[in-house]
């Protein structure tokens, strides 16, 4: 590896001055996520070897079966974030309620809240397909020195100060933004260092990939059905290619690099879709917008939605700007 290649650690320090409140705390926070991700990566990578992939038997707040690695990742991220004097609260997709962190002096002085999906797509672990961690960071809005409240977590996504994901794939990558573009870092597992491999990621304005669980076609709203027909027509640069892994981080990551649209719409049985606004859609929307793309619920910009509850779900249309605009056009035509 050439000595000119920047490591994630160097990058975080080098770009600290770009942060809105440049006290170094956000850098330390991102650093702690980087460290926890390394530990989780180690476990995910050996998941096929040991009996760690089975379902624990618990069900999470969404009534889904929780698997051992979800529990492990959840614990690791919470533990790492709690041990630092940076966050005053954590909300996790795997926890019913948010966690209050008093800080070492028990004075609630820490500034940031973190919302995290510790291991998304975990049903893919058993079959050796990429999974990911998604995180979202806000400054608290209630005064420092008081315990964090639900209000601090229910901020619209446009207030995020940073967002990112870690993809445990053929290579492990961390991709994040602090509102100044998107950068991707690849882990060299031999030495445990992430290197800047994808500087300033830009999403093509349009692409040729659409990603949706088409098995649910019958349950889709008419606007989505019409858009899918449009994607499949032999016209101009179409038909597009259909690619769906069923692992949000991997599907979005591929589309960011290749150009495309990801859709998880509302269905007749899930009127708000499946994905969670706070842990999945907001962070992905910030990243995709920072890369020049677009994210909406078919009608409204994701980052402008005022959340009303921690585990809220929302329909999600995300990816290349022109493709999302076209899908919105079909949605809006059907009202
Ligand atoms: P999870 O948070 O329970 O892991 O579910 C989220 C996952 C996403 O990664 C993926 O995009 C989606 O669920 C796939 O859902 P489906 O199997 O309904 O297509
Ligand atoms: Mg998830």
CA nearest ligand 1 atom 18, residue:
213
Q: Which ligand approaches the C-alpha of residue 124 most closely?
A: 1
Q: 312 vs 126, which has greater pLDDT?
A: 312
Report whether pLDDT(45) > 70. yes
Residue reference for tokens 């390394």:
38
The least confident of 59-63, 107-111, 154-158, 287-291 is: 59-63
Pocket test for ligand 1, best of 121, 132, 217 (most atoms within 8 A of CB): 121
- What number is the ipTM of this complex? 0.95
25-45 and 68-82 helices, crossing angle to 10°: 150
CATH topology of domain 8-198: Fructose-1,6-Bisphosphatase; Chain A, domain 1 (3.30.540)
121 labeled binding residue: yes
Q: What is the C-alpha to C-alpha distance for residues 33 and 136, in angstroms, rounded to an integer?
A: 11
Cα 198 to the center of its chain, rounded Å: 17
The tokens of 90 are what? 């954590």
Report whether pLDDT(208) > 80. yes
pTM over 0.90: yes
- pLDDT tens-digit map of 2-14: 557 899 988 888 8
Q: What is the mean pLDDT of residues 170-195?
A: 94
Q: CB atoms < 10 A from the CB of 237, how many?
A: 8
- Intervals of CATH 3.40.190.80 along the chain: 209-333
Q: What is the C-alpha to C-alpha distance for residues 332 and 99, in angstroms, rounded to an integer?
A: 39
User: What is the β-pairing status of strands 131-139 and 112-120?
Assistant: antiparallel
Atom of ligand 1 nearest to the CA of 93: 2
70 lines ligand 1 (CB under 6 A): no
- Intervals of CATH 3.30.540.10 along the chain: 8-198
Which helix (H) or strand (E) segment holds residue 152: the answer is helix 150-153
Q: What is the mean pLDDT of residues 105-112?
A: 87
The CATH number given to 209-333 is 3.40.190.80
Q: Which residues pair with 150 in a beta bridge?
A: none
The least confident of 14-28, 184-198, 288-302 is: 14-28
pLDDT of residue 103: 84
CA distances from 78 to 87, 162, 252, 300 (A): 10, 18, 25, 32
Report whether pLDDT(54) > 60. no
Q: What is the C-alpha to C-alpha distance for residues 275 and 263, in angstroms, rounded to an integer?
A: 10
Q: Which ligand approaches the C-alpha of residue 131 most closely?
A: 1
At residue 228, what are phi and psi to the nearest 5 degrees?
-65, -40
265 lines ligand 1 (CB under 6 A): no
At residue 95, what are phi and psi to the nearest 5 degrees?
-115, 145
pLDDT of residue 64: 64
pLDDT of residue 68: 80
Q: 196 falls in which pLDDT band (50, 70, 90)? A: very high
Ligand 1 centroid vs 141 CA: distance in angstroms? 31
Burial 202-230 (b: 16+ CB within 10 A, else e): ebbebbbbbbbeeebeeebbebbbbbbeb
């Amino acid at each position: 590896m050439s000595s000119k290649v920047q490591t994630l650690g160097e990058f975080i320090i080098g770009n600290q001055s770009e942060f809105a409140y440049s006290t170094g705390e956000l850098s330390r926070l991102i650093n702690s996520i980087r460290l926890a991700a390394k530990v989780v990566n180690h476990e995910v990578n050996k998941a096929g070897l040991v009996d760690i992939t089975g379902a624990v038997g618990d069900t999470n707040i969404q009534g889904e079966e929780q698997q051992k690695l979800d529990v492990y990742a959840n614990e690791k991220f919470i533990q790492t974030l709690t041990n630092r004097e940076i966050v005053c609260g954590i909300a996790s997709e795997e926890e019913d309620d948010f966690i209050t962190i008093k800080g070492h002096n028990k004075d609630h002085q820490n500034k940031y809240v973190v919302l995290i999906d510790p291991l998304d797509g975990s049903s893919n672990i058993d079959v050796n397909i990429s999974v990911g961690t998604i995180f979202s960071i806000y400054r608290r809005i209630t005064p420092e020195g008081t315990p964090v409240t639900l209000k601090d977590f229910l901020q619209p996504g446009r207030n995020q100060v940073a967002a990112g994901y870690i993809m445990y794939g053929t290579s492990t990558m961390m991709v994040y933004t602090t509102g100044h573009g998107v950068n991707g870092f690849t882990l060299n597992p031999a030495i445990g260092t992430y290197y800047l491999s994808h500087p300033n990621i830009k999403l093509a304005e349009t692409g040729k990939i659409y990603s949706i669980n088409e098995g649910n076609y019958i349950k889709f709203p008419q606007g989505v059905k019409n858009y899918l027909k449009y994607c499949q027509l032999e016209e101009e640069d179409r038909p597009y290619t259909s690619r769906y892994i069923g692992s949000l981080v991997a599907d979005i990551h591929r589309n960011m690099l290749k150009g495309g649209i990801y859709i998880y719409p509302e269905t007749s049985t899930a009127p708000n879709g499946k994905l969670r606004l706070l842990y999945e859609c907001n962070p992905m929307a910030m990243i995709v917008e920072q890369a020049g793309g677009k994210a909406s619920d078919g009608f409204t910009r994701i980052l402008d939605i005022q959340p009303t509850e921690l585990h809220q779900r929302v329909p999600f249309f995300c990816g290349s700007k022109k493709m999302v605009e076209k899908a919105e056009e079909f949605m809006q035509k059907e009202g």
